[in-house]
Amino acid sequence: MTATIRQQVLAPFSAEWPQPTGSEVRALLQMADLTGSKAAALVGVNPRTVRKWVGEEQKISYSSWVLLAEAAGFGEIWKS
């Protein structure tokens, strides 16, 4: 089963930007071929934080999301 990533979470930040789901975070990590530890090192957080994003225990920041999205090949999503 392949998780999908909604187009709205791949858009520039706005007050209406929807929070990615845990499955979207997991899918992005898979697309970027990143383990939780590698993703944590890339965005500057503890690996436990990445697990919390995937488990929907903590919200992922937009800045972390865009770094992971770029690593997954989506480009500079923060630009219009």
pLDDT in tens, the chain (80 residues): 457 899 999 999 999 999 999 999 999 999 999 999 999 999 999 999 999 999 999 999 999 999 999 999 999 999 97
Does residue 47 sit within a domain? yes
Does residue 5 sit within a domain? no
Q: For position 2, what pLDDT does the model report?
A: 55
Does residue 55 sit within a domain? yes
Does residue 36 sit within a domain? yes
Report the CATH number that the domain containing residue 48 is assigned in CATH.
1.10.260
Cα-based distances in Å from 12 to 24, 51, 70: 17, 24, 13
Q: Which residues of 33-68 are buried (b: 16+ CB within 10 A; e: fewer)?
A: ebebeebbebbebeeebbebbbeeeeebebebbbbb
The number of domains in the chain is: 1
Does residue 75 sit within a domain? yes
Q: Residue 80 sits in which domain range?
A: 21-80
Does residue 6 sit within a domain? no
